[in-house]
Amino acid sequence: MSKPQTYANYINGEWVASSKTFENRNPANTDEIVGLFSSGAAADVTAAADAAQAAFGGWAATTAPARGKFLFTVADLLERKLDQLAAEMTREEGKTLPEAKGETMRTINIFRYFGGEGSRMPGMLVPSERDRVFMFSIRKPLGVVGLVTPWNFPSAIPAWKLAPALVAGNTVVLKPASAAPLSAWRIVEACHEAGIPKGVVNFVAGSGGELGDALVNAKPLKAISFTGSCAVGNWLHEQASRRRLRIQLEMGGKNPTIVLADADLPSAIANSVNAAMFSTGQKCTATSRVIVEDGIYDKFLQGLVEQTKALKVGNGLEPGVHIGPAIDKAQLETNARYVEIGKKEGAKLECGGTVLTAGAYGKGYFFEPTVFSGVDAGMTIAQEEVFGPVLAVMRARDFEHAIEIANGVDFGLSASIQTSNVSRVFEYVQKIEAGLLTVNLPSAGVEYQLPFGGTKGSSFGPKEQGPVALEFYTDYKTVYLKY
Ligand code: NAP
């Protein structure tokens, strides 16, 4: 077997290798090392933040359209390697090749979208009450921004933080997830090849537990944008608040799909399976609870279980595979643990629930897509995020009861309703406690042109993506001018 490639950190425009490395292994075949990554230390984070600070003045003084042009070049460079990047993503994260290709294309589109924002950079201009006074607000970048990203969208999430941060004139230190750092590394490589000036983009891989403290305490840091678990997000929030850093958190979910009795049954079933199982249930917007109105419950459950059983689990590089592996052993064990909890608390296991070990499965972290029925709102599997292909089916008396169950959790990221009743749709839009709503679509599968983010325990701070993404990465300067 050929020696795995090593990937250095990127600090002040240089590739900086550490003496210590960590392995990025393929979760579908743990014999395969996808790459060896430099294990950054606290000193690397400090050096990266200092380099970003030194580069800030020049980058902020570059016109926004010129900054946008760099982003267009990054998009073009990534697009040339689309197939390679998608295959690498499947090998490091496990999602299927079509899913990985879709995500890589989304990254490219995000760079183009925010490249275009460079030519808009909308401020405000309003008439003054005073004669011959001209008043306006312009956007200014914040300075050095820390970006901390998870493994489940290893390219799109770094992209949807990096692109708006850069076009707004900030300089950045990016800390990718250790389980899947290669896709983010490729974006940084493209930034380097695009000629983005040294120090503007910095990349330090390594254990979040070790680097987090150095990042949140780096002197030049002005803000942190984080996506990941609630535990880490809440810790970062506390640390950042002590220094009055600006912070944006996107965290976990327990997303509901409500199925009303008037729903189109085949499409409600297909949307629920898609949202709960695809990407191995490892999407923050995945459905983990389906709340079904009494009149359609039995038929829906039967179809759901049939379709779930028909899903093919395997290596995402193989054609015809629907569901890849869990990201790692810990997540696999978490899936199995929640299945045991579900059984113990009295839910009925309809299908799945076991770790797959036969043949090639034994080399990866494969788990059978799982459906529980008869789940009560108070059960652990109805309240806690599993982050795997484990779906809880719950029965509701009527629409109001379904909304009550849907809202009865600490989270509020995404939600879906399946119905043909337009009045119910508008009531749902008013009453549901979530930031991302779908109707007759899966709860997962959002685009980049509108605000993204949740409410309640899922999120904190301004939304990401769409034109509002600039709110987090800029400040206003208001000018009153007498002429
Ligand atoms: P995680 O364990 O919180 O890790 C996220 C990032 O934080 C990783 O880069 C991690 O580094 C780093 N980190 C860990 N400890 C840290 C510390 N003390 N200080 C600073 N950084 C630290 O989350 P994950 O397991 O990667 O991702 C799964 C979670 O993300 C799920 O809860 C999911 O719902 C959530 N998620 C939310 C959204 C959203 O938009 N709401 C999107 C995607 C995922 P290491 O990898 O080195 O540990």
pLDDT tens per residue across span 96-125: 999 999 999 999 999 999 999 999 999 999
Q: Report d(CA 203, CA 213) in Å as an integer.
A: 16
Least Cα distance to 2 among 45, 35, 50 occurs for: 35
With a 6 A CB cut-off, is 236 part of the ligand 1 pocket?
Answer: yes
Answer whether 175 contacts ligand 1 (Cβ < 6 A): yes
For residue 232, report the distance from its CA to the centre of ligand 1, in Å: 7
Q: Cβ of 456: how many Cβ atoms within 10 Å?
A: 16
Ligand 1 binding pocket includes 22 (Cβ within 6 Å): no
| Cβ-Cβ contacts under 8 Å for 65 (sequence gap 6 or more) | 118, 119
Ligand 1 close to Cβ of residue 149 (< 6 A): yes
> In this structure, which residue's CA is closest to atom 43 in ligand 1?
284
348-351: long-range contacts at Cβ-Cβ below 8 A with a sequence spacing of 24 or more? 348/372, 348/373, 348/374, 350/301, 350/305, 350/393, 351/305, 351/308, 351/309
Report which of 240, 292, 238, 285 is spatially closest to residue 269, judged by C-alpha positions.
292
- Amino acid identity of residue 212, one-letter, is G
Atom of ligand 1 at shortest range from CA of 413: 41
The question of whether 351 is a catalytic residue gets the answer no
Asked whether 144 and 53 are in contact (CB, 8 A), the reply is yes
The beta-strand segments (E) located in 211-354 are 221-227, 246-250, 255-259, 287-293, 348-351
- Mean pLDDT of the residues in the chain: 98
125: its two tokens: 């201009």
Dist. CA 160 → ligand 1 center (Å): 15
In the reported structure, the alpha carbon of residue 259 is separated from the centroid of ligand 1 by a whole-number distance in angstroms of 31
State which of 39, 284, 285 you would mutate to test the pocket of ligand 1, scoring each by most atoms of that ligand within 8 A of its C-beta.
284
Residue 349's CB is within 10 A of a number of other CB atoms, namely: 15
Q: Which residue has the least CA distance to atom 16 on ligand 1?
A: 208
387 Cβ inside 6 Å of ligand 1: yes
Distance 256 CA to ligand 1 centre (A): 22
Q: Tell me, yes or no, if 250 is annotated catalytic.
A: yes
Pocket probe for ligand 1: among 25, 148, 217, 384, the residue whose CB has the most ligand atoms within 8 Å is 148
Q: Are 470 and 424 in contact (CB under 8 A)?
A: no
Strand order in the sheet with 29-38: 6-7, 29-38, 21-26
Which pLDDT score is estimated for 3?
84
pLDDT digits (tens, 9 = 90+) for 152-179: 999 999 999 999 999 999 999 999 999 9
> Which amino acid is residue 80, in one-letter code?
R
Interatomic CA distance for residues 296 and 292, integer angstroms: 7
Q: Which helix (H) or strand (E) holds 45?
A: helix 42-61
Nearest ligand 1 atom to the CA of 153 is 43
Distance 341 CA to ligand 1 centre (A): 24
The CA 150 to ligand 1 mean position distance, Å, reads 4
Atom of ligand 1 nearest to the CA of 232: 3
Using CA atoms, how far residue 464 sits from 158, 286, 458, in Å, is 12, 18, 13
Q: What pLDDT digit, counting tens, does each position of 29-73 carry?
A: 999 999 999 999 999 999 999 999 999 999 999 999 999 999 999
Report whether residue 331 contacts ligand 1, using a CB cutoff of 6 Å: no
Q: Is the CB of 252 under 6 A from ligand 1?
A: yes
Residue 445: count other Cβ atoms within 10 Å of its Cβ: 18
Q: Where are the alpha helices (DSSP H) in 345-395?
A: 380-383
Task: State whether the beta carbon of 413 lies less than 6 angstroms from ligand 1.
Answer: yes
Residue in 176, 183, 177, 34 with CA at minimum distance from that of residue 108? 183
Q: Whose CA is nearest to atom 13 of ligand 1?
A: 208
In short, whether 457's Cβ falls inside 6 Å of ligand 1 is: no
Where is 193: in which H helix or E strand? helix 182-193
For the purposes of burial, counting CB atoms within 10 Å of the CB of 441, is it exposed (0-12), middle (13-18) or buried (19 or more)? Answer: middle
Give the closest residue (by CA) to ligand 1 atom 45: 208
* 232 vs 227: CA distance, rounded Å: 9
Q: Does pTM top 0.95 for this prediction? A: yes
- For position 1, what pLDDT does the model report? 59
Q: Which of 284, 350, 385, 471 is catalytic?
A: 284
- Spell out, as residue ranges, where the chain has pLDDT lower than 50: none
